[in-house]
Amino acid sequence: MAHVSAVERRPQLVKAAIDLMARKGVAAGSTRAIAAELGVAQATVHYTFGTKEDLYRAVMDQLTEDLIARVERAAPEDAGFEETIAALAGALWRSAREESAGYHLLTELSLLALRTPRLSEARQAHYRGVVEVTARLVSEAAARARQELSRPPEAIARFFLAGFDGLTIQRLYAPDEAAEVLGLRSLVSATTALATGRLGLADVPTD
């Protein structure tokens, strides 16, 4: 059998891990099972990545890159501000609905990372990357529409993503298509209102 370098083997193992864990869950993603998925020796996984956590981190990076690329492709070049926010929301929602196995896997890995110190950096990098891309797209949409933002782009991005995360959790626990569509439309309207200064902010006791 021809020798395959670690550089070539790395994306193969990442794909095998994604395919396996998307079908069976993170708990099934042992290095032995991932190696069997690709048809290689278990030692190949450890030689290529070192530890299971290093492989999981690479999986999170790949899933995050795929999600960001999909959102960036959805951003229209000549639309108004609200239309752009709606397009981004639609692209993310389609990812959660049509690519649900991969989206759920990323959510599952993110939750695992909360209790796994070796994955903490990957979890933070994932969220930073999504926030940064969303904030950039918000800024670009505002510039095209000549819309002055009432809040920093990052704050608007975090507000939007917080609402979207809530909708996806509801879809997992209590699916209701009509309520989900209403929630998505409301999120786009609320994000637009926050960005343009039309959303009044209530005082909330937090101490």
| Tens-digit pLDDT profile for residues 18-75 | 999 999 999 999 999 999 999 999 999 999 999 999 999 999 999 888 888 888 887 7
- Which residue range forms the structural domain that includes residue 16? 1-50
Q: Which pair of structure tokens corresponds to residue 20? A: 């396996």
Query: Mean pLDDT throughout 133-159?
Result: 94
Q: List the single range of 82-86, 96-100, 106-110 with lowest mean pLDDT.
A: 96-100
pTM confidence score: 0.85
Q: Residue 1: its pLDDT value, please?
A: 42
Residue 147 belongs to some domain of the structure: yes
Residue 181 belongs to some domain of the structure: yes
Q: Which pair of structure tokens corresponds to residue 74? A: 């959805």
Q: What is the CATH number of the domain that holds 126?
A: 1.10.357.10
Residue 26 belongs to some domain of the structure: yes
Name the domain count of the chain.
2
Same domain, 72 and 148: yes
- List Cβ neighbours of 110 (8 Å cut-off, separation of 6 or more): 60, 123, 126, 127
